[in-house]
Structure 1
């Protein structure tokens, strides 16, 4: 496998993940418009608590307006809180809420079976079990907060910006 194949696989996995996300109650369309952008921002906030919107935009490569919109949607969902920066009261610092919101709990409780079945439409149940197992192995080794990475002290690979 080369870098382009890995990149394209990652995009495919992101689309399957977006499909697996439950719709919010009373919502039309995906939460916050662009699920992908909201998840990128949420991931950055988890890795870098007490960051300003501009810092998140700089790290993610997203436009500041998209980061601001995503932070507002995450705040509305109860996933993040904001507070004035003590060093510069004009800036807001963003961090995850100490306790998961109802929406976070709902998303974490969702499963990938239906989304995976749709992505692998001509597959057998055995094929889907094999892919699910492979994804669990990848998650165990590559997810930033996985117990295996914490235990071994592994760091996620850094990508140049």
Structure 2
């Protein structure tokens, strides 16, 4: 496999993952902020860096600060994040994951990829789905988010 093939495979897997995620339900009159990719990148960063600021997340992820702010606001609305004033600088907020599992987090955790994977493969053949699922399980076991040296990639 070449680096280009690996990169394209990664993008394909991201798209399948995005399609498998259940759509968030926004409260009446609420504006949905930030895209799915930005929210997932921000969530991944905060999981590894609790009590962090928007500017620190932006620096680590390479996302624009405005995109990070939108994703943080969206994740706070869904109950995934909480924030508190920074004791060293009351003007900035420190962000962390919520201790309680929100409805949205439970919904996302229970979602399955079968339909999105079947659509991407163009088949629902049980043996093909089992083989691809097993291959994805092996990749997920060995290629954890911590395995990537640069979170922007």
TM > 0.5 between the two? yes
Q: 1:23 matched to which residue of 2? A: 23
Residue 54 of structure 2 is aligned to residue 53 of structure 1 = yes
1 CA distance for matches of 2:49 and 2:67? 18
Deviations 1:73-108 (A, max 9, x none): 000000000111111111111100012211000001
Please give the root-mean-square deviation of Cα atoms over the aligned residues, in Å.
2.0
SS in 1 for 2:95: strand
What residue number does 1:4 align with? 4
The equivalent of 1:14 in structure 2 is 14
Question: Which of 126, 142, 147 is equivalent to 1:156?
Answer: 147
User: What is the CA–CA distance in structure 2 between the aligned matches of 1:14 and 1:62, rounded to whole Å?
Assistant: 17
SS of equivalent residue, structure 2 residue 115: helix
Which residue of the partner structure matches residue 141 of structure 1? 142
1:100-111 equivalent positions in 2, closer than 5 A: 100-111=101-112
Q: TM-score, normalised by structure 2?
A: 0.89
Q: Does 1:92 align with 2:93?
A: yes
**Unaligned 5+ runs, structure 1:** 145-154
Report Cα offsets for 1:54-82 as digits up to 9, x if no partner. 01001111000000010000000000001
Aligned residue in 1 for 2:121: 120
Cα deviation code 1:82-140 (max 9, x no counterpart): 11111111111110001221100000101000000010014632112111111111111
Quote the offset at 1:159 in angstroms. Answer: 2.6
Q: Is the 8 A contact 1:57 1:64 kept in 2?
A: yes
Segments of structure 2 that go 5 or more residues without pairing to the other structure are none
Q: 1:32 & 1:115 partners in 2: Cα distance?
A: 24
**What are the equivalent positions in structure 2 for 1:78-89 lying under 5 Å apart?**
78-89=79-90
Residues 1:109 and 1:160: Cα distance change in structure 2 (over 3 Å)? closer
SS at match of 2:147: coil
Q: TM-score, normalised by structure 1?
A: 0.85
Aligned pairs, how many? 149
Cα distance 1:45–1:160, how it changes in 2: closer, same or farther (>3 A)? closer
